């Protein structure tokens, strides 16, 4: 007969296999803990990444938009909700020349149709490569020279490859660049130069698109950087008051980010509180279960003691068993999370209604490892008291008469 070494690990595995329901319950608690802790970490990191990305990408002091579309521009930029809104062309030209403006550039937003014939509804953004100071430098890195006639640069979540073609309205466009993920609306946007955007807008109108001014020079927003020393809040206020009749309003991008940060802070506080509460609850339940199990198995440990095991060896056997439970649970929880997270990440990011950009797993590795370890070690920590009690009392259980 083949002899197997009866190491503490082997004894633990045998014991766990013999009590499958108890093992499943204990591991299930750890799996839930790992799922929530690691999930909370990924969620927090992704939301932080999204807000940080928004802070970097919304590099203008002010966005001038039509009155009533202040929320729409936030939705389009931060959350990828395709929007179309237009300023009067003549007023736009006047606004770009206002006192206090250091640099300004127009952008044209077109929302593709939401119809069964379209694979996805996207935001088309036309920009002026000569004057733009917000997206142009970034687009330049994806496609040097920017998109020319009949060319587009697509966001990371647009279903198109560089070199391929995508159809918008009546025309096919060649994809000349694909952007890195931003966690913002830019990921579901398509960028094209202003002339191409105006052509697209005309096709949009021909196909039934509504709400577009007839002057042919429509723009959606103006990105503005103010001169040094100009108070941007005052600048915005003056425009709101001075151009009230022209239905012009101002959005301050940094306030969008600040609002997102505020929302993020509240959400992360809830996540942190729930994670902490769950850890405490899980540790308490595990400690209780281990304590009950220790009472039930005290005689078994007494036998170990009678056969020559030291107190330390008994403690090692108990801790090994709980560590195995922890490892099985943590791996199961992390595995389940990976499946759920990767399957529903897009849905999650949309439903959160906030900028969302998951850092790479490599950059998260140290923290993920730490959180995984915290989950894994919850059972050994919870069983420590029981392990020490077993070491102290096991011998008595084997001595008790009439057992």
Partner 1 sequence: MLLEAERVSKTYKRDGAVFSAVSDASLRVGDGELVCVTGRSGSGKSTLLGIVAGLLPPTEGHVIFDGADITKLRDSRLSRLRGPQIGYIPQGHSLLASLSVIDNVRLPLYLGSRAARAGTGAAALLDKVGAGHLAAQYPAQLSGGELRRVSIARALLREPRLLIADEPTGDLDPDNAAAIFGLFEDIAREGAAILLVTHDPALVERCDRRYDMSGGELRASDVRSRQSGGVIC
Q: Which residues bind partner 1 (CB under 8 A)?
A: 1, 3-7, 11, 14-15, 17-18, 299-300, 302-313, 395-396, 398-403
Stated as kind and residue range, the H or E segment containing 66 is strand 62-66
Give the C-alpha separation, 60 to 297, whole Å. Answer: 68
Which two tokens mark 400? 């008790």
Give the C-alpha separation, 169 to 231, whole Å. Answer: 42
Least distance from partner 1 to the Cβ atom of residue 32, Å? 27
Which two tokens mark 375? 């989950």
Measured from the CB atom, is 116 or 402 closer to partner 1? 402
Measured from the CB atom, is 208 or 402 closer to partner 1? 402
Least distance from partner 1 to the Cβ atom of residue 22, Å? 13
Least distance from partner 1 to the Cβ atom of residue 395, Å? 4
Residues 6+ away with beta carbon under 8 Å from 47 = 264, 267, 268, 352, 354, 355, 356
DSSP SS3 for 63: strand
Measured from the CB atom, is 21 or 312 closer to partner 1? 312
Measured from the CB atom, is 9 or 205 closer to partner 1? 9
Measured from the CB atom, is 184 or 316 closer to partner 1? 316
Residues 6+ away with beta carbon under 8 Å from 307 = none
Least distance from partner 1 to the Cβ atom of residue 391, Å? 9
Least distance from partner 1 to the Cβ atom of residue 12, Å? 10
Measured from the CB atom, is 348 or 398 closer to partner 1? 398
Residues 6+ away with beta carbon under 8 Å from 34 = 329, 330, 332, 333, 334, 337, 371, 372, 375, 376
Asked if 313 contacts 8 with a C-beta cutoff of 8 angstroms, the reply is: yes
Asked if 55 contacts 357 with a C-beta cutoff of 8 angstroms, the reply is: no
Least distance from partner 1 to the Cβ atom of residue 10, Å? 8
């Amino acid at each position: 007969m083949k002899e197997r070494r009866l190491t503490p690990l082997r004894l633990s595995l045998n014991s766990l296999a013999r009590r499958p329901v108890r093992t499943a319950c204990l591991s299930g608690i750890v799996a839930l803990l790992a799922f929530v802790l690691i999930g909370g970490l990924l969620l927090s990191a992704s939301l932080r990444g999204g807000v940080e990305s928004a802070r970097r990408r919304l590099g203008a002091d002010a966005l001038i938009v039509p009155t009533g579309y202040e929320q729409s521009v936030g939705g389009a930029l931060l959350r990828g909700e395709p929007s179309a809104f237009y300023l009067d062309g003549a007023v736009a030209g006047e606004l770009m020349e206002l006192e206090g403006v250091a640099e300004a550039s127009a952008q044209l937003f077109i929302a593709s149709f939401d119809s069964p014939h379209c694979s996805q509804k996207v935001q088309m953004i036309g920009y002026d490569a000569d004057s733009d100071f917000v997206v142009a430098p970034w687009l330049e890195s994806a496609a040097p020279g920017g998109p020319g006639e009949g060319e587009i640069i697509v966001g990371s979540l647009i279903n198109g490859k560089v070199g391929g073609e995508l159809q918008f309205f009546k025309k096919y466009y060649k994809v000349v660049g694909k952007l890195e993920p931003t966690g913002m609306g830019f990921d579901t946007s398509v960028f094209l130069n202003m002339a191409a955007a105006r052509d697209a807008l005309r096709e949009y109108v021909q196909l039934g698109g509504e709400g577009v001014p007839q002057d042919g020079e429509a723009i959606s927003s103006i990105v503005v950087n103010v001169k040094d020393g100009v108070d941007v809040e005052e600048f915005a206020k003056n425009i709101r008051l001075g151009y009230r009749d022209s239905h012009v309003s101002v959005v301050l991008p940094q306030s969008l980010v600040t609002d997102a940060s505020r929302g993020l802070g509240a959400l992360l506080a809830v996540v942190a509180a729930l994670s902490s509460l769950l850890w405490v609850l899980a540790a308490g339940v595990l400690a209780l279960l281990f304590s009950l199990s220790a009472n039930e198995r005290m005689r078994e440990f007494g036998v170990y003691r009678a056969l020559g095991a030291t107190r330390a060896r008994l403690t090692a056997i108990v801790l090994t068993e709980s560590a195995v439970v922890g490892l099985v649970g943590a791996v199961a929880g992390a595995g389940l999370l990976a499946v759920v997270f990767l399957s529903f990440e897009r849905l999650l990011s949309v439903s959160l209604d906030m900028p969302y950009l998951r850092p790479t797993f490599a950059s998260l590795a140290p923290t993920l490892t730490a959180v995984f370890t915290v989950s894994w070690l919850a059972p050994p920590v919870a069983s420590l008291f029981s392990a020490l009690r077993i070491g102290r009392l096991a011998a008595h259980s084997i001595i008790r008469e009439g057992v």
